[in-house]
Structure 1
Amino acid sequence: MAIALSQDDYWTLFQESAVDRDVASTADQLDITRKYSSQWGHGFMREICLREGLTLDIANYQPHDDIITHSADREHPLEYSFNLPDGYPSSADAIPYHLFGSGIAPGGREKQYANQRIMWVSVHIEPEVFRSFAGNPSGQVPEALQHLIGDPNQKYYVRPGQATPAMHIALQQILQCPYQGFTQRMFLESKVWELMALLLEQEAETQQGRQPVVWLKPDDVDRIHQAKAILLQHLNNPPSLTQLARQAGLNECTLKLGFRQVFGTTAFSYLHHYRLEQARQLLTTDEMSVTQVAQSIGFARNYFTKAFRQKFGCTPLAYRKGHRVHFNIK
């Protein structure tokens, strides 16, 4: 049974659960790690204040039950947020992100699924901090970026996207930062702005191409997650896109555009990469032959070899042999 809470109550409970208010490695009150309440699940959320008006949040938690939160309209700064796949950085899944302008964030309903790992990196930037890069007394940003500084009384701008390899590297560097205190904030702020620069580069391309933004209802998002679950339950015989849309209770257009928005890639590209990742894990044991591994994920042997080489840089047989050598060395 799902637990329903207001968003404010949910985050209040999250914060109150951390009685000891663990501070990450130092007595630095600008870097606080709060434990996820054992009543609700396990994990943590870390909040790092890099400077006034610039905050980096890192979360990694897993609820015990489905949790539905409801929120009202609220003021919102600039933000970008990367949703990391379970097992990151070794996971082969794509990394979707959302870029938000400042303005009013509309209220709505959000569902977190029981026993599903939630990992994200999010950065909040007050408009005044963003304007400080303008290089002029008025703080006027370039015309191509002015839509990111929205009317405080109007709905904010939002654009989904998929992380590039350069973004992936910056995310890893943030999560694996080796420094503490003053040096840590200097390093993390440099990476936060590096990510923002990469996002703005994609934003300029999007604005030039006038790519549409798809607005999804909360129920649509739930059904898209259901569509993903259906795909993963039928690795060796997946339904067609039309069948998948019907089973998930969506029209085909909403499924196609919405799946890309939620997961950063198409439904069948997601399935393709997931199949190969499953195969890679199966190859680390001797329980199945290469042909049997291919059959288990619904690939013909020849196609499997070609697809595996394209993704991992070697044939399935070579990967298995290399894994054996690595295991024996250890």
Structure 2
Amino acid sequence: MTIIIPAQAHRQLFQEVNETPQNNDPDDELDITYKYPQALGEGHYRRVELRQSLLLEIESYQRHDNLIIQSIDRPHPLEFWFMLSGQWRESSLWAVNETETGQYGFFGSGMAVRGEDEFLQGRQLLVGVHLEPELLQSFIGNSSGELPKALQHLTRSPQQPYHFRSNVMTPMMQYYVQRILHCPYQGIIKRTYLESKVLELLALLLEQEAEIQMGSRTPKPLKLGTLERILYARDLLLQQIDNPPSTAELARLVKLNEYALKRGFLQVFGKPLFTYLHDYRLEQARQLLETGNMKVSEVAQKIGFASRNYFAAAFRKKFGINPKQYLMQHKHS
């Protein structure tokens, strides 16, 4: 079963069950724990404000069902998170982004358009950090606050789409995340300890991001066997466009680990797995509409869009015309 809920209603559920949030540390009033709404599952959300512009979050949930949160256009913060358990996928007009168990997601600041955030049923354990762009600029910017050229894409205006990258957590990242989860201190010492680990993680991410932007992490050519598995994965994905397998399932079917599959797919096709699928779905929709034999709602369902409104917006974004108008044009041609 999948629960679909608007972002505002999701926040309202949290507020209703957390009229009096629990203070996690008696010596720190800025370390608060919120219960997860029982209508959605069990668990808690912990929020530690390390300083005014630096926020640490720990989400530990057991969801009863798959959850889709529908969001509206909004400014997106500069943030990063580490997914120790679970899977997240964001579908918007611009892209399809995702992180899975063992991966991190690195988000720049900017604009996030309306879309859907999907979380799978089951266990989710996530450690996340939000920071203001001004704080990042104060850490690594020059005297004018300007970031190094290789990192300037991380801070964009509210009118520009935010940058996103996901990748596999390195052993050092895993080490610092575990130190955060098992912090042995309380009060001011705890806050200092947690902030130091957060900044260590930020440094690792920035180092990796700069290397990627400067081209010093050039991917090696794929071996023939790996290339064949990547092509097979593409075929399996397109055979089930209305209900595609997860990345984990696809990797199992083609006998690759998830990291090798995602990296190889991007290298071969120039797009992440589900961005490729998203674009393919829309092209299939265009061809189906040209036949004039199906309604817009039927086309949307056939290619795997649960929401007709989201399908219409995505189609308009790609082709510059509403699907209904496109259908009528070809009916009269």
Deviation of 1:85 after TM superposition, in Å, equals 2.3
User: Aligned equivalents of 2:7 and 2:62: distance in 1?
Assistant: 17
Cα shift readout 1:245-264 (whole Å, capped 9, x = no counterpart):
255438xxx98xx949x99x
Consecutive unaligned residues in structure 2, runs of 5 or more: 87-99, 219-231, 261-333
User: Aligned equivalents of 1:107 and 1:210: distance in 2?
Assistant: 34
Cα shift readout 1:126-172 (whole Å, capped 9, x = no counterpart):
01111111364421221111111112221111111111110010000
Deviation of 1:196 after TM superposition, in Å, equals 0.6
Matching residue of 2:300:
none
Task: Choose from 205, 214, 222 the match for 1:199.
Answer: 205
Q: Partner letter of residue 19 of structure 2?
A: V
Q: Partner letter of residue 114 of structure 2?
A: G
Task: Choose from 180, 184, 194 the match for 2:186.
Answer: 180
Task: Choose from 256, 260, 269 the match for 1:268.
Answer: 256
Closer/same/farther in 2, CA of residues 108 and 49 from structure 1, 3 Å limit: same
User: Aligned equivalents of 1:6 and 1:211: distance in 2?
Assistant: 39
User: Aligned equivalents of 1:44 and 1:113: distance in 2?
Assistant: 17
Matches within 5 A, 1:210-225: none
Matching residue of 1:52:
52
Matching residue of 1:5:
5
Deviation of 1:182 after TM superposition, in Å, equals 0.8
Deviation of 1:184 after TM superposition, in Å, equals 0.9
**Secondary structure of residue in 1 paired with 2:257:** helix
8 A contact 1:46–1:59 mirrored in 2: yes
Task: Choose from 217, 241, 246 the match for 1:249.
Answer: 241
**Secondary structure of residue in 2 paired with 1:141:** coil
User: Aligned equivalents of 1:27 and 1:12: distance in 2?
Assistant: 29
Task: Choose from 144, 148, 153 the match for 1:147.
Answer: 153
**Secondary structure of residue in 2 paired with 1:61:** strand
Matching residue of 1:111:
118
Hey, which bits of structure 1, 4+ residues long, moved more than 6 A?
none
Matching residue of 1:95:
102
8 A contact 2:110–2:158 mirrored in 1: yes
Cα shift readout 1:167-219 (whole Å, capped 9, x = no counterpart):
0100000100011121111111111110010001110121123989xxxxxxx
User: Aligned equivalents of 1:17 and 1:73: distance in 2?
Assistant: 26
Cα shift readout 1:77-126 (whole Å, capped 9, x = no counterpart):
2111111126xxxxxx9611111111112221122333x11111110110
Matching residue of 1:22:
22
Q: Partner letter of residue 168 of structure 2?
A: Q
8 A contact 1:69–1:109 mirrored in 2: yes
8 A contact 1:259–1:267 mirrored in 2: no
8 A contact 1:43–1:61 mirrored in 2: yes
**Secondary structure of residue in 1 paired with 2:26:** coil
Closer/same/farther in 2, CA of residues 131 and 267 from structure 1, 3 Å limit: farther
User: Aligned equivalents of 1:123 and 1:271: distance in 2?
Assistant: 23
Matching residue of 2:71:
71
Matching residue of 2:36:
36
Identify the range of structure 1 (52-61 vs 15-24) with the bigger mean alpha-carbon deviation: 15-24
Q: Partner letter of residue 147 of structure 1?
A: H
What count of residue pairs does the alignment treat as equivalent? Answer: 231
8 A contact 1:94–1:163 mirrored in 2: no
8 A contact 1:18–1:35 mirrored in 2: yes
Matching residue of 1:80:
80
**Secondary structure of residue in 2 paired with 1:23:** strand
Cα shift readout 1:270-301 (whole Å, capped 9, x = no counterpart):
499xxxxxxxxxxxxxxxxxxxxxxxxxxxxx
**Secondary structure of residue in 2 paired with 1:174:** helix
User: Aligned equivalents of 1:40 and 1:155: distance in 2?
Assistant: 30
8 A contact 2:28–2:188 mirrored in 1: no
User: Aligned equivalents of 1:168 and 1:270: distance in 2?
Assistant: 17
TM-score by length of 1: 0.63
User: Aligned equivalents of 1:97 and 1:159: distance in 2?
Assistant: 8
Matching residue of 1:128:
134
Residue 158 of structure 2 corresponds to residue 166 of structure 1: no
Matching residue of 1:318:
none
Matches within 5 A, 1:229-248: 241=233, 244-246=236-238, 248=240
Matching residue of 2:319:
none
**How many percent identity over aligned positions?**
42
